[in-house]
Amino acid sequence: MSEPVRFALDAMGGDHGPSVIVPGAAIALERRPDSRFTFFGDEKQILPLLEKHPALNAASAVVHTDVAVKMDDKPSQALRSGRRTSSMWLTIDAVKQGTADVAVSAGNTGALMVMSSVILKSLADVERPALAAIWPTQRGESVVLDMGATIGADARQLVDFAVMGGAMARIVFGLEKPSVGLLNVGVEEMKGIEEVKEAAAILKDHQGGDLAYHGFVEGNDIGKGTVDVVVVEGFTGNIALKTAEGTVRQVGSFLRDALNATWRTRLGYLLAKPALDALRARLDPNNSNGAVFLGVNGVVIKSHGGTNAKGFAAAVEVGHDMVRYELLAKISAGLKDYDRTREAPVAGAASS
């Protein structure tokens, strides 16, 4: 039997803290019985909640700290000496110390990224990290990165993102050779900034490997699910994510208003309720919660701050799969595979 997957959980992170983290872990344990948990945070809040979940209580430990990173703290504030005893810092440090296999936090995204980089350091050959999210599409799901960890990226860094995103897609989707596209302003080869075109040349010229380079994709291709992995630098990726989230809320608001307009539309709602419930479940961010912080020497999962227990459980399950199917080893192998092709195609692309 395989060794259990050991989770370090930032119990004080997110909008709701232990009231969501503890029951979320209980749900995750039901789905992944080979999990063990260490909660970092205020034991006065955590222990009474654990007592309500005997199975989880038996599979857990609590490390007390009364210091927590606030959701509105700047990353620089979070790194001050007092924050090094925070629940977030201790959660990540458990991975570094080898007492946990994966860290999960619903806390401040900027602080989590900075602390992860400082504590765990970068994987060899990775210059800059990326935040990868699972994106619902018309075909199913895609991995999209970077969602905001790195603002701006050169060609090599975009290729790193492609390799790391491909490793994640092989684990999450069970694909042998996921398709990868570079997000661009058009699909034509002459379009886009030089960094994106140079990255395209590297990916296109690479023969073999475990990625299938598709080419450029546009914004509407993300929702279509044209490729399994969409690669973009973090500034644009974060805007795309926030735009999509806002659009879902906007359409939902419009739909509610339309269905409540008259007695006929309210009757129509009752008839269409099963289909609308299925749509709501498909678009529910709690069902695809859990972004992976790629590029650091450890597995770190970012849960949405406002998630519910079901959503936090989904984030824990993502972490479980990343550990069980050896994400870091797959990323390292993929980066070595691309080392020999990184430089030469760029010069050719620039001269064309």
Can you give the residue ranges of every domain in the chain?
1-120, 124-292+325-352
Q: Are strands 291-294 and 130-136 parallel, antiparallel or unpaired?
A: antiparallel
**CATH code of the region 124-292+325-352:** 3.40.718.10
d(CA 179, CA 228): 5
Task: Please tell me the distance from the alpha carbon of residue 215 to that of residue 202, in angstroms, as a whole number.
Answer: 11
Instruction: Please report the sign of the dihedral spanned by the C-alpha atoms of residue 223, residue 306, residue 129, residue 340.
Output: negative
**101: its two tokens:** 């296999």
What is the pTM assigned to this prediction? 0.86
CATH number for the segment(s) 1-120: 3.40.718.10
Mean pLDDT, residues 164-175: 91
Tokens at 130, concatenated = 């990326």
The answer to whether residue 324 scores a pLDDT higher than 60 is yes
User: Are 10 and 298 spatial neighbours (Cβ–Cβ below 8 Å)?
Assistant: no
Query: pLDDT digits over 273-303, tens only?
Result: 777 777 666 666 667 788 999 999 999 999 9
Helix, strand, or coil here: 146?
coil
% of the chain at pLDDT higher than 90: 48
Domains 1-120 and 124-292+325-352 share a fold: yes
pLDDT at 344: 44
What are the angstrom distances between the C-alpha of 168 and each of 66, 134, 327?
34, 10, 7
pLDDT tens digits, 99-134:
999 999 999 988 999 999 999 998 877 888 999 988
